[in-house]
Amino acid sequence: MTHEAILVLEDGRTFVGEAYGAVGETVGEAVFTTAMTGYQETLTDPSYHRQVVVQTAPHVGNTGVNGEDDESDQFWVAGYVVRDPSPRAANWRSTGELGDRLAAEGVVGISGIDTRALTRHLRERGAMRAGVASNGTDAASLRERVLAAAPMAGADLSAEVSTAAAYTVAAQGTHRYTVAALDLGIKRNVTRRLAARGVTTHVLPASSTLDGLLAVGADAVFLSPGPGDPATADGPVALATEVLRRGIPLFGICFGSQILGRALGFGTYKLGYGHRGVNQPVLDRTTGKVEVTSHNHGFAVDAPTDAAADTAFGRVEVSHVCLNDGVVEGLRALDAPAFTVQYHPEAAAGPRDADYLFDRFRDLIEGAGTKGAGNA
C-alpha cells in the first residue's frame, strides 16, 4: 500500500508525493546533491546529519544497497527526497533494495515529486528547513514543526556523530606513520586512503584533549569532516590551535578545513545553498591543475585569495578554489606543517582526482620529521 507524503519548506512551498522508506514524519535542512552515483555513501555520510537530502538525479536506487559502500555504521540523513525510485535493484554487488534499507534505518522519505522544481527553489532562495510527512500530518501542522526546528546555522552536532570509544584502523602493509584523527563525523574511506599509504589511524572522540591525541604516539593529526556549523566548534578549534603551536603536522578535510581555518584566524560563513555533488571543478593553485571533485559543504572559510594572509602561525595562502563560484576550497600554511581542503579527496562516491592530497599529507609528515613527536 502506498501512503501519500508531503514535503513542506519553511517558506510554505509544498510538494505532494508518495512515501519512500520509513512512514512517519521528519524535519531538517533541505539541501540538494547533484551526484549521479553514490547514494549509499551519501546516506551514510555523517555530514548529512539533520539534513533532508534531495537527489537531483531523477532515478535513484538502481543498484540497490550492498555490504561494502557504507561510510559509517548507519544512515544519517534526516529525510530523503527522490523523483523516481527504481522498482528493482540490479547490480552484482547488491544485497537489497534501497527502499527497504531506508525503512529499516527509519529514514522518512518522499518520492514522485518534481525534484527539479524543488532544487531550483532551493538554489534561488537558499537552503532552508523542511519537513517530510507520510503519516497523515497536514501541511499546516508540518510547517509549524519545521519553523520550530533549529536551523543549521549555529548547530553544534559533533558530539551526536562522533565515536563513543577510540578505535584503530591499521596500516596496510608496512606501518610507516601514526595519525590521530579527531572524529567529528569521519568517513571510512578517509582511514582507508591513509592505510593505503602505510598510515595507522587512531580515530578519537570529538571531546579528546591534546594529551589524548599525543598519547597514541601520533606523528600527525587529522581533523575530520562532519555536520554542523563550524562557528560552534570552539573545542576542536582550541585543540587545532594547540597542535599548530606544537608544530605537529595537521591536515583537515571539510569540517576539519573550517576548524583549521578558524584556528589560523579566519572566519567561516554559510553559503547560499552549498556545494553537494561529485563533479565540482576545483583549481589547485599550487600546480595550476584543475580537478573534478566530490563536495558536501554548506559553510566555507572566509580567506583572502589575492595574496597570502599573515596569521599567528605565519603566512597562509588559499591553495584551492572552486571554479564555479570562487569559494575557498583549500588552505596551505607556508610557515607551518598544516593544510586543508574543503572538499573530499577520499571521494567515495566521486572521482579520484584529488587522491594526491593524501600523498601530500604523507609527504608533510615525512618532511616534518616529527616521527614519534607524540611520544616526546
Ligand X SMILES: NC(=O)CC[C@H](N)C(=O)O
Q: Which amino acid is at 126?
A: G
Closer to ligand X by Cβ: residue 22 or 161: 161
Question: Catalytic residue at 254?
Answer: yes
Using alpha carbons, select from 127, 12, 13, 113 the residue that is nearest to residue 78. 127
DSSP 59: E
Query: Contacting ligand X (CB under 6 A), which of 64, 225, 337, 345?
Result: 225
- 252 in contact with ligand X (CB under 6 A): no
Q: How far is the CB of 359 from ligand X (least distance, A)?
A: 21
Query: What is the smallest separation between the CB atom of 342 and ligand X, expressed in angstroms?
Result: 8
CA dist., res. 77 & res. 65, Å (int): 16
Binding-site members for L-glutamine are 47, 226, 228, 255, 258, 296, 298-299
Nearest to 254 by CA among 189, 204, 311: 189
Smaller CB distance to ligand X: residue 178 or 296? 296
Cis ω for the linkage preceding 349 (within 30 of 0): yes
What letter would DSSP give residue 151?
P
Give the span between the Cα atoms of 239 and 208, in whole angstroms: 9
Q: Is 24 in the site for ligand X (CB under 6 A)?
A: no
Q: Binders of ligand X among 182-221, rule CB under 6 A?
A: none
Q: In this structure, which amino acid lies at residue 40?
A: Q
* Shortest spacing between CB 119 and ligand X, in angstroms: 18
235 lines the binding site for ligand X (CB under 6 A): no
21/8 Cα distance (integer angstroms) = 18
For residue 245, the surrounding DSSP H or E stretch is helix 234-246
Cell 559553510 appears where?
299
Nearer to ligand X, 40 or 47 (CB): 47
From 25, 202, 254, 291, the catalytic residue: 254
Cβ–Cβ under 8 Å, residues 248 and 220: yes
> Cβ 292 to ligand X, closest distance in Å?
18
Q: Does residue 299 bind ligand X (CB under 6 A)?
A: yes
Report the distance separating Cα 30 and Cα 10, nearest Å.
Answer: 10
Position 47 contacts ligand X (CB under 6 A):
yes
Reply yes or no on whether 322 is catalytic: no
Residue that is written with C-alpha cell 590521530 in the block: 180
Interaction of residue 255 with ligand X, rule CB under 6 A? yes
Can residue 158 be called a binding residue for ligand X (CB under 6 A)? no
Site string for ligand X, 278-297 (x = CB under 6 A): ------------------xx
- Annotated catalytic residues are 254, 344, 346
Where along the sequence are the contacts to ligand X (CB under 6 A)?
A: 47, 225-228, 254-255, 296-299
